[in-house]
């Protein structure tokens, strides 16, 4: 089947104008998300670059149809990346790197633009590197759901590889000794490029909205001071864990951990020092948790932990380690050493029909026992 190159170019232009307009519509509705405006501009830039490159056949002005067109093509992945950074950081992002890479690319392009094929090899290689970098960068934008992150990352990576392939094909073509007609291959690569650009642009809003939803969930379920779950998050996720345990006839375990004589630490070193201790204890708790455990700060200096898939012996081992680890840790605040210990109360049960607040009450009674037996220890019901 013969694919007409101008048809592909015209389709690319129209599709990018449409996608750019869609991005601006989203930006208009969500003014705080400047990344949509940046991605919209990227689509328009890509359309303009294609118009200029298309003029190569009728206009003898390579400075415009090659030099400017290729520079604009390089600007597209840079804008895509800029939009991702704006989104990740949620603030204005400096254009310094975009400007630097544009200048660095402009120099060799200036020497090559009289030879469109060599210029194309260079442009495709730079874009390939930028897309591959973007693929790796997307992976660092957390806490987006893994699937969306991977999908966007794979699109960028495939795009990078495809552009490298384009660079190689064009490089071979530009060698006069190898007369192979690769126009069809280039056209196919251009179509793949078009599909990937479209898919990436369509995924941008999905990516942003899924991350927004996660952030919103975090705001309501995460304790700002310690970054563990808060009381609400603990009950929401802990109850789910309990139901799962009961369905699989596994024991459920709830621990309560409370800082010892915390009031005197606050009184002696100040509230800020107390907050630093809470953060340090949270860090130790987090270190001892496995993937499916749920740890939360449910009150001022009270932590609750739901352990997934443990028996009584393992639960006691975790409790012992937490108590010992906190007692051994040298807490410091503004050069002052603070001696800190914790007490832990726990319950492990296989009984059905017990909800999380009942288990928490039992763990609290065990904690009370640990406190009245001298603190810096654990007790189980
Ligand atoms: N710095 C800081 N202190 C807090 C926070 N929430 C609660 N507190 C303090 O934690 C202290 C709790 O004191 P108490 O309940 O009397 O218990 P305690 O002094 O730890 O004594 P025991 O639990 O019996 O060992 C109070 O002084 C609260 O002001 C917080 O977010 N930050």
> Which of ligand 1's atoms lies nearest the C-alpha of 343?
25
Q: What are the structural domains, with CATH classification, of the chain?
A: 5-220 (1.20.1070), 231-380 (3.30.70.270)
361 contact partners, CB below 8 Å, separation of at least 6: none
pLDDT band (50, 70, 90) for residue 143: low
27 contact partners, CB below 8 Å, separation of at least 6: 33, 34, 36, 37, 40
User: Residue 295 has what DSSP assignment?
Assistant: E
Q: What pairs with residue 337 in β-bridges?
A: 332
> Which of ligand 1's atoms lies nearest the C-alpha of 266?
1
User: Would you state the pLDDT for residue 183?
Assistant: 67
If you average pLDDT over residues 180-202, what whole number do you get?
77
371 lines ligand 1 (CB under 6 A): yes
If you average pLDDT over residues 247-261, what whole number do you get?
94
Most confident of the following: 167-181, 188-202, 312-326, 329-343: 312-326
CB-CB contact of 63 with 39 (8 Å): no
Q: How far does residue 367's CA lie from ligand 1's centre (Å)?
A: 15
> Which of ligand 1's atoms lies nearest the C-alpha of 271?
1
Pairing between strand 342-349 and 378-380?
Answer: parallel
User: Residue 302 has what DSSP assignment?
Assistant: E
Peptide bond connecting 312 to the previous residue in cis, omega within 30 degrees of 0: no
- Convert the pLDDT of each residue in 281-308 to its tens digit: 999 999 999 878 999 999 999 999 999 8
User: Would you state the pLDDT for residue 179?
Assistant: 45
- Convert the pLDDT of each residue in 24-79 to its tens digit: 999 998 888 899 999 999 999 999 999 998 898 888 999 999 999 999 999 999 99
266 lines ligand 1 (CB under 6 A): yes
Instruction: Provide, rounded to the nearest whole percent, the portion of the chain with pLDDT above 90.
Output: 61
With CA atoms as reference, report the closest residue to 366 among 271, 211, 254, 210: 254
Residue with tokens 């078009």: 194
Q: How far does residue 266's CA lie from ligand 1's centre (Å)?
A: 7
Q: Which of 118-122, 269-273, 330-334 has the lowest mean pLDDT?
A: 330-334
User: Would you state the pLDDT for residue 318?
Assistant: 96
User: Would you state the pLDDT for residue 37?
Assistant: 95
Q: How far does residue 301's CA lie from ligand 1's centre (Å)?
A: 5
pLDDT band (50, 70, 90) for residue 239: very high
The answer to whether residue 260 scores a pLDDT higher than 90 is: yes
User: Would you state the pLDDT for residue 1?
Assistant: 55
Name the residue with higher pLDDT: 300 or 173: 300
Cβ-in-10-Å burial (0-12, 13-18, 19+) of 59 comes to exposed
pTM: 0.59
If you average pLDDT over residues 340-366, what whole number do you get?
92
User: What is the C-alpha separation between 304 and 306, in angstroms, rounded?
Assistant: 7
The answer to whether residue 253 scores a pLDDT higher than 70 is: yes
If you average pLDDT over residues 369-379, what whole number do you get?
97
User: Would you state the pLDDT for residue 2?
Assistant: 64
CB-CB contact of 241 with 308 (8 Å): yes
CB-CB contact of 264 with 375 (8 Å): no
Task: Measure the N-to-C terminal CA separation of the chain; round to a whole number of Å.
Answer: 76
Q: Whose CA is nearest to atom 18 of ligand 1?
A: 261
b/e code 213-245 from CB counts within 10 Å (16+ = b): eeeeeeeebbbeebebbbbebbbbbbeebbeeb
User: Would you state the pLDDT for residue 38?
Assistant: 95
Q: Which two tokens stand for residue 65?
A: 């149809």
User: What is the C-alpha separation between 101 and 99, in angstroms, rounded?
Assistant: 6
Average of per-residue pLDDT values in the chain = 90
192 contact partners, CB below 8 Å, separation of at least 6: 162
Cβ-in-10-Å burial (0-12, 13-18, 19+) of 52 comes to buried
User: Would you state the pLDDT for residue 14?
Assistant: 94
ipTM for the predicted complex comes to 0.95
If you average pLDDT over residues 344-366, what whole number do you get?
91
> Which of ligand 1's atoms lies nearest the C-alpha of 262?
20
User: Would you state the pLDDT for residue 180?
Assistant: 46
The answer to whether residue 140 scores a pLDDT higher than 90 is: no
Q: At what angle do helices 183-221 and 146-174 cross, to 10 degrees?
A: 160
Q: How far does residue 371's CA lie from ligand 1's centre (Å)?
A: 14
318 contact partners, CB below 8 Å, separation of at least 6: 255, 288, 307, 310
275 lines ligand 1 (CB under 6 A): yes
pLDDT band (50, 70, 90) for residue 377: very high
């Amino acid at each position: 089947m013969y694919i007409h190159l101008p048809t592909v170019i015209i389709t690319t232009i129209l599709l990018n104008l449409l996608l750019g307009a869609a991005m601006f519509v989203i930006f208009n509705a969500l003014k705080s998300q400047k990344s949509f405006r940046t991605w919209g501009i990227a689509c328009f830039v890509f359309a303009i670059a294609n118009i200029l490159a298309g003029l190569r056949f009728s206009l003898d002005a390579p400075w415009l149809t090659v030099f400017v067109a290729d520079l604009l093509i390089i600007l597209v992945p840079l804008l895509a990346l800029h939009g991702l950074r704006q989104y990740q950081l949620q603030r204005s992002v400096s254009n310094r790197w975009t400007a630097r890479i544009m200048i660095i690319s402009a120099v060799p392009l200036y020497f090559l633009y009289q030879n469109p094929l060599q210029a194309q090899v260079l442009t495709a290689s730079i874009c390939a590197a930028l897309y591959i970098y973007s693929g790796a960068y997307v992976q660092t934008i957390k806490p987006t759901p893994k699937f969306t992150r991977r999908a966007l990352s794979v699109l960028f990576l495939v795009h990078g590889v495809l552009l490298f392939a384009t660079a190689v094909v064009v490089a071979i073509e530009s060698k006069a000794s190898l007369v192979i007609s690769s126009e069809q291959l280039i056209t196919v690569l251009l179509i793949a490029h078009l599909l990937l650009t479209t898919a990436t642009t369509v995924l941008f809003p999905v990516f942003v909205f899924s991350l927004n939803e996660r952030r919103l969930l975090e705001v309501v379920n995460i304790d700002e001071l310690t970054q563990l779950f808060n009381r609400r998050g603990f009950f929401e996720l802990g109850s789910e864990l309990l139901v799962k345990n009961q369905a699989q006839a596994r024991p459920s375990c709830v621990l309560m951990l409370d800082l010892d004589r915390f009031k005197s630490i606050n009184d002696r070193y100040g509230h800020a020092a107390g907050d630093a201790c809470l953060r340090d204890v949270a860090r130790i708790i987090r270190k001892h948790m496995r993937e499916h455990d749920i740890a939360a700060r449910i009150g001022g200096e009270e932590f609750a932990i739901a352990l997934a898939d443990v028996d009584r012996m393992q639960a006691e081992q975790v409790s012992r380690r937490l108590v010992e680890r906190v007692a051994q840790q040298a807490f410091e605040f503004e050069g002052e050493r603070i001696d800190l210990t914790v007490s832990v109360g726990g319950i492990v049960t296989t009984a059905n029909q017990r909800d999380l607040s009942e288990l928490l009450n039992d763990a609290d009674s065990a904690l009370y026992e640990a406190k009245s037996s001298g603190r810096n220890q654990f007790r189980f019901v």
